[in-house]
Amino acid sequence: MRIKKIGVVGAGTMGAGIAALSASAGVPVVLLDIPGKDDRNEVVKKGLERAQKSKPASFMDKARVSLIETGNTEDDLKKLSDCDWVIEAIIEKVEPKRELYSKLESTLRPTTVISSNTSGIPMKTLLEGRSEAFKKRFLGTHFFNPPRYLHLLEVIPTPETDPKVVELIKDFGERILGKGIVLAKDVPGFIANRLGVYGMIQAIRIMEEFGLTIDEVDALTGPLLGRPNSATFRTADLTGLDVLKLVSEELAHTTGEDFSIPAWVLDLIAKGALGEKTGVGFYKRQGKDILTLDYKTGEYQPQEKLRTAELGALKDAPLAEKLRGVLKLSGKHGEFMRKLFAVTAHYTLSKAPEIAYDITAVDHALEWGFGWQEGPFKNMDAVGLDTVRQIFSEHKLAEPDLLKKTKDSFYKHGKLLGFDGSYRSIPVRTDTIALAPLKSSGKVLSETKDSALVDLSDGVALFEFRTKMGTLGDGLVRDLNKALDWIEANNYAGLVIGHEDPRTFTAGANLALVLSVAQEADWDTLNMATMQFQNTAMRLRQSPFPVIIAPFGLTLGGGAEFTLHADRVQAHAELYMGLVEVGVGLIPAGGGTKEMLFRFTKELEAYEQADFFEAVRRAFQMIALAQTSTSALEAKNMGFLRHGDRISMNRDRQIADAKACVLGLAPDYLPQLPMKIRALGADGLGNLRYALWQFQEAGQASEHDVRIGQELAYVLTGGDGPSREVTEQDILDLEREAFLKLLGTRKTQERIAHTLKTGKPLRN
């Protein structure tokens, strides 16, 4: 069976988000909700409208909303009859869910998979009264909010669920929807919420015990622990305080454990201060400022950054060192961190065998669902199990049975501790490629501090960036050229360019180095470096073997230029790609300006009456406004990705997908021939100069903005002479000349310095 169409019942935040994700993946969706009064479909329409307007965006491409058909649960249940998978995402109450399942059982095909997106109600509770046939095709599929961005999908089968159904949903969720699948036991809260919500509530309680502020707790429980910037209280605001209350009450009811939240938090909820969706919760937006709640007085105060010498020393340390360091902090901060670690680690060790099938499921659930860099068992290994035992003893907590079963760590030498106390091999996946095992098994062909060349087998190698945020300096560019030489000399099938940083493919060129050389007025060095960068970009396309780039996350400036010149791009769905050089007073000079001009012009050459100024205008607008995609689908619409470029929904599969792309192209590969186009010359340049003058007259552009725009216009039109045929090298030469001219101006240097210092653009 294949899943070709999905039904979602419930158009609230989660239901509409799941529908948006599915449509973004190219799957048709039927979205239903309860009937409205004046308009029978007003409830579902409003839910879909919220998803279209949500920030961050629920859809990867706004046009994909056309794949969603709407209706209501009284008139339109029959629309679900041709769906292959129906996801229930209605109110978190047992009886309404049971009533819906009764209706679905008589409506759906006998092969349709039905699942619940409940955040914590056990499946066995929901299945009361259902037939054996229904039970075989029913399971839990718990997405995390927002569904587009959080990697986790908990799959919760029951003893009656057909194993083929479980495998179908796991495979579809992973490959098509891009999720990280964790198999959870059918217990209240499953894995992520059971542990994550417990930890959040404990942080609130222990904060009160030691008299810390909300700002202090979020400073201590965010990146310092390898967790998101949103830490504890900002995460609660983003999720919604009402959701925290609902989940905690349900967990308390179903587990019999104490998940109660303090009265002052309940007071906030009663007042409608629910977090981000109401503009006020633990934090409050006031104009451009964000205020923090003083929970003792109920008033909101300006945020106070927590800065101490101890924390400063840990800021840039490796995660393991940070984790050990926070447990040694002095004063109330150290007391808070040690107690929080004690109670949460103890709870995790005690509950893991009850809620999960192995410790990797626990780690992945927290990593993928709550954004932890490493899960709790990896954290305990990093701290050291003797230290864990010592902290338990200090807090009068008995050593959990699972900890007693360990030798010296939970993970060791490619094995992991089972709940029975035996160590077993970590399963090796054949459908993904992880670089760490390859590198540890001697597959590194060459390496420097900036890069590594890794053998992916089958005649394919991977060039890995190792610089901070993937910045492209002279060393990395030299290494890339050496890698291209090596691939050719050793007759390899081709090259993949990629790496495994969680957020940034590359932030572009090393601006600090560029500025330093410019301030020394070493123009010969800058000219040669720029030419080398251009030549390297062109070489990616002209090498006698396929080069596939696998970008993800931030892919900016020079990184975008390298990506534009690959034979194919294997992009991750979350791709934020743009030629953003104008933000620092420059234009793209690594072939980006040339490539967009040629790409857009070539698109128009198929039309007899085409106005080629439209290609120039389109490239000018994209570069002058530093337009950046918000997804790979949008990058394709914008022209950053071509028709033949591919998208991996699942980041875990991206490198394997890129390798497959190399092997698909390699047998009959021929490099692209050099291109020529007709440049518009003076006529096109005049049009752009007039537009720039209008912007300046309207107060929308500064004098230096106009200077940058004029240099960009000059390159895109091929200069101010007559219309003429130009080669790619002609435009590359103009690019480089304009880049160096702008770099020589005081105002561009000021812009670069300001951005390096503040991370923000300067309009001077």
CA atoms within 13 A on the CB side of 52: 12
Residues 228 and 357 in one domain: yes
Residue 127 lies in a domain: yes
The answer to whether 342 touches 252, Cβ cutoff 8 Å, is no
pLDDT tens readout for residues 314-351: 988 999 999 999 999 999 999 999 999 999 999 999 99
Domain C-terminal end among 143, 163, 183? 183
Mean pLDDT computed over 620-642 = 97
Overall domain count for the chain: 4
pLDDT at 596: 98
Residue 485 lies in a domain: yes
pLDDT at 502 over 90: no
pLDDT at 374 over 90: yes
CA atoms within 13 A on the CB side of 89: 30
pLDDT at 717 over 90: yes
pLDDT at 342: 98
Fill in the amino acid letter for 488: E
Residue 430 lies in a domain: no
- Residues 23 and 27: their CA atoms lie apart, in Å, by 5
Interacting residues of 734 by C-beta distance below 8 A, sequence separation 6+: 714, 715, 718, 719
Instruction: Please tell me the chain's helix, strand, coil percentages from 3-state DSSP, rounded to the nearest 5.
Output: 50, 15, 35
Helices (H) and strands (E) in the chain, counts: 31, 26
Mean pLDDT computed over 642-661 = 96
Residues 552 and 499 in one domain: yes
- Residues 357 and 553: their CA atoms lie apart, in Å, by 32
pLDDT at 748: 97
Residues 663 and 677 in one domain: no
Nearest to residue 468, comparing CAs of 478, 476, 458, 477? Answer: 476
CATH of the domain at 124: 3.40.50.720
Q: DSSP E strands: which ranges in 323-382? A: none
pLDDT at 428 over 90: no
Q: Burial level of 318, CB count in 10 A (0-12/13-18/19+)?
A: exposed
* Dihedral (CA of 319, 757, 476, 546) sign: positive
Residues 384 and 522 in one domain: no
pLDDT tens readout for residues 550-588: 999 999 999 999 999 999 999 999 999 999 999 999 999
Nearest to residue 648, comparing CAs of 570, 579, 541? Answer: 570
Residues 595 and 566 in one domain: no
Q: What is the DSSP letter of 356?
A: B
Residues 716 and 758 in one domain: yes
Residues 279 and 403 in one domain: yes
pLDDT at 614: 96
Q: What is the DSSP letter of 683?
A: H
Helix (H) or strand (E) holding 506: strand 504-506
Confidence of residue 288 (pLDDT cuts 50, 70, 90): confident
pLDDT at 258: 95
Neighbours of 486 (CB within 10 A): 16
Beta strands 547-549 and 568-572 are parallel
pLDDT tens readout for residues 505-542: 999 999 999 999 999 999 999 999 999 999 999 999 99
pLDDT at 651 over 90: yes
700 CA to centre of own chain: 33
pLDDT at 763: 87
Residues 346 and 458 in one domain: no
pLDDT at 407: 84
Q: Which two tokens stand for residue 458?
A: 């089958």
pLDDT at 440 over 90: no
Domain C-terminal end among 667, 689, 722? 667
Mean pLDDT computed over 142-163 = 96
Interacting residues of 22 by C-beta distance below 8 A, sequence separation 6+: 6, 8, 29, 177
Three-state DSSP class for 25? coil
Helix (H) or strand (E) holding 726: strand 724-727
pLDDT tens readout for residues 58-108: 999 999 999 999 999 999 999 999 999 999 999 989 999 999 999 999 999
Q: What is the DSSP letter of 280?
A: B
- Residues 531 and 733: their CA atoms lie apart, in Å, by 8
From residue 317, how far is each of 223, 229, 313, 503, 677 by CA, in Å? Answer: 11, 16, 8, 18, 51
Interacting residues of 678 by C-beta distance below 8 A, sequence separation 6+: 601, 612, 723, 724, 725, 726
- Between the CA atoms of 345, 346, 351 and 356, what dihedral angle is there, to the nearest 10 degrees? 30
Residues 43 and 113 in one domain: yes
Confidence of residue 266 (pLDDT cuts 50, 70, 90): very high
For the beta sheet containing 444-447, the strands, ordered from the edge strand earlier in sequence to the opposite edge, are 444-447, 451-457, 460-465, 494-497, 547-549, 568-572, 646-648
Fill in the amino acid letter for 329: L
From residue 196, how far is each of 277, 364, 373, 555, 710 by CA, in Å? Answer: 21, 12, 14, 32, 54
Mean pLDDT computed over 385-414 = 95
pLDDT at 461 over 90: yes
CATH of the domain at 262: 1.10.1040.50
* CA-atom Rg of the chain in angstroms: 28
Interacting residues of 124 by C-beta distance below 8 A, sequence separation 6+: 158, 186
Residue 1 lies in a domain: no
pLDDT at 429: 84
pLDDT tens readout for residues 668-708: 999 999 999 999 999 999 999 999 999 999 989 999 999 99
Return the percentage of the chain with pLDDT > 70, whole number: 100
Fill in the amino acid letter for 401: D
Q: Which two tokens stand for residue 211?
A: 């008299």
Residue 760 lies in a domain: yes
Residue 361 lies in a domain: yes
Tracing tokens 């190698």 back to the chain, one arrives at 461
CA atoms within 13 A on the CB side of 50: 17
Neighbours of 578 (CB within 10 A): 27
Q: Which two tokens stand for residue 54?
A: 């949500």
Fill in the amino acid letter for 111: T
As a whole number, the mean pLDDT across the chain is: 95
Residues 362 and 226 in one domain: yes
Fill in the amino acid letter for 147: P
Q: Burial level of 763, CB count in 10 A (0-12/13-18/19+)?
A: exposed
CATH of the domain at 657: 3.90.226.10
637 CA to centre of own chain: 20
Domain C-terminal end among 425, 455, 483? 425
Three-state DSSP class for 292? strand
Residue 532 lies in a domain: yes
Mean pLDDT computed over 465-480 = 96
Confidence of residue 225 (pLDDT cuts 50, 70, 90): very high
pLDDT at 414: 85
Residue 46 lies in a domain: yes
The answer to whether 177 touches 25, Cβ cutoff 8 Å, is yes
Long-range contact pairs involving 683-688 (C-beta distance under 8 Å, separation at least 24): 683/723, 684/613, 684/616, 684/713, 684/716, 684/717, 685/713, 685/714, 685/717, 685/719, 685/720, 687/613, 687/617, 688/616, 688/617, 688/620, 688/713, 688/716, 688/717
From residue 458, how far is each of 266, 300, 491, 492 by CA, in Å? Answer: 59, 60, 12, 8
From residue 311, how far is each of 224, 316, 384, 533, 578 by CA, in Å? Answer: 8, 10, 21, 39, 35
pLDDT at 431: 87
From residue 672, how far is each of 534, 565, 677 by CA, in Å? Answer: 16, 10, 15
Beta strands 299-302 and 411-412 are unpaired
Residues 222 and 341 in one domain: yes
C-alpha angle 735/736/737, rounded to 5°? 95
Residues 316 and 453 in one domain: no
Structural domain span for residue 679: 583-627+673-764
Q: At what angle do helices 376-383 and 319-326 cross, to 10 degrees?
A: 70
255 CA to centre of own chain: 33
Strand partners, 575: 553
C-alpha angle 21/27/33, rounded to 5°? 65
Confidence of residue 430 (pLDDT cuts 50, 70, 90): confident
pLDDT at 648: 97
